[in-house]
Amino acid sequence: MLRGTEILFKGQVQGVGFRYKAKQISGRFDIAGTIENLPDGRVKLRMEGELSEIEGFFEALLEQTPGFVTDAERSGKPYRGEFTGFEIIG
């Protein structure tokens, strides 16, 4: 079942290549979405895919960016099919 999710990352997540690492890791998973810096210092990730792919990507991102993330606020979103790939925006 396809799902959507949004994750707001807090910590040392801007200016350290966090978004680029996410883009790199995304190629290993069947997900689509966007990742962007927010003015308040957080990073917003929006993605869609099978739950197992979303979870796998999330775990891989945390594992490969140790010490960057101090909090990750997740919220489920309805699947809309709005993404065609994985892009860095903003």
Provide the annotated active-site residues: 19, 37
Token pair in block for residue 11: 């910590």
How far apart (Å, rounded) are the C-alpha atoms in residues 84 and 33? Answer: 7
What is the torsion angle, in degrees rounded to the nearest 10, for the CA atoms of residue 66, residue 88, residue 27 and residue 2? 100
What CA–CA distances, in Å, run from 65 to 2, 25, 61?
Answer: 26, 11, 6
